[in-house]
Each structure stands twice: as structure tokens, then as C-alpha cells.
Amino acid sequence: MRYPKNHKEEVRQQLLLASGSHAKQHGFAASGVDALAGAAGLTTGSLYKHFDNKDALFSALITAELDKTKRRYDGVELGDYQAMQKILNIYLHLNHVHASASGCPVPSLASEVARSSDEVKRAFEAGIVELKNAVTDITGSSNKAWALMAQNVGAVMIARAMLHDTTKREILAAVRVAGADLLSAAQSAN
């Protein structure tokens, strides 16, 4: 049976999407290649047709997931702090805390990237810098972009570690206020 020309790329994207969700929920290091392939409904052999090894898969997964996160900022222009605040409110919501499989990869996978190969760290750094550049394009400040990103990721990580939703909500609310204050200061400066 012949497959269409784009079949291989479609399977690769399906694999990245499904293994990305699986890794964000269960951890990448703890997930075997069988589990990552299985999440996409594929065999381990199929996975190795697309990636030479687990590090290559992790690098591609990180790149795809960070690109998906960065696309949330597409179309938001410099100084559109209202749009930026809406994005931050979605990020700093209890749904995002509870739905790690469909959320940003940074709170779920950053600690694993820190223990990974240089190849994985390179992919992560490139994606994070692109994300920071997208936020900088809105805030007009690299420092504000890094601060917003760090406080938001940290808030989600800490909230995920809490037992009670009331504590999680308190953390998220505090960081939403801090983000709004930072954006307000940026708006006043412009």
C-alpha cells in the first residue's frame, strides 16, 4: 500500500503531539520509548523511523511544544497589554494547573531538560529565547519578558505541587496581580 507524500510528516507530527502530551503529564525521563510511541498509537519501530534516539525525540518534542506556546502571542502587537493580560490570565488559571498534558511544557519539563543532554538543552534554550522574544515584542522590554515568564512558570510549578485548590488559586491570583502590575508599569513607561 502506498502512502501519500506527506504521510511520514503527518505521522511525525502525530507522534510529537501525543508524546508531548504524555511527557508533560507523566514526565519524559520516566516514560519509556514504548509508552511515548504508544501514546501516539505507534510502535517503537515507527518511532525510530522518525527519531534516531530518545534525545532526538525529546529535542523535537520540546521544539514543537514551545512553538505551540509561542503561537499564543501571534498577532499581539507592541503595547497591547490588554491582550497580554488575557494570555497571562489563561496561563495562570487553575485549568492550566490541572491540565499539564495540554499546557505549556516549561512547568512540566524544565527540570527534566536541566538533567538532559546538550542536544535537548539547545532545543529548549532556542525555544525559550524565541518565546521571550515574542513577549519582548509585546512588552518592549527583554527584562520584563524574562520576569513575566519566570514568575508565571514558577507559579504554575508551585501551584501544581500544592494539595488544595484554595492554595493553588491564591498563588495564581498573586502572580496575576504581579503580572498586571508589571504590565501597568510598562504601559506607564511608554
Half-sphere exposure of 41 (CA within 13 A, CB side): 4
Query: Does 187 or 1 have the greater pLDDT score?
Result: 187
Averaged pLDDT, 63-92: 94
pLDDT in tens, 26-46: 988 888 888 988 888 888 888
**d(C-alpha 97, C-alpha 161), whole Å:** 9
**d(C-alpha 40, C-alpha 88), whole Å:** 30
| Residue linked to cell 535537548 | 120
* 40: three-class secondary structure by DSSP: coil
pLDDT level of residue 141 (50, 70, 90 thresholds): very high
Residue 141, burial from CB neighbour count under 10 angstroms (0-12, 13-18, 19+): middle
**How wide is the angle at C-alpha 15 spanned by C-alphas 10 and 17, nearest 5°?**
95
DSSP state of 3: P
Q: Which domains does the chain have, with CATH numbers?
A: 7-189 (1.10.357.10)
* 140: three-class secondary structure by DSSP: coil
Checking if the pLDDT of 115 tops 70, the result is yes
Predicted pLDDT of residue 3: 66
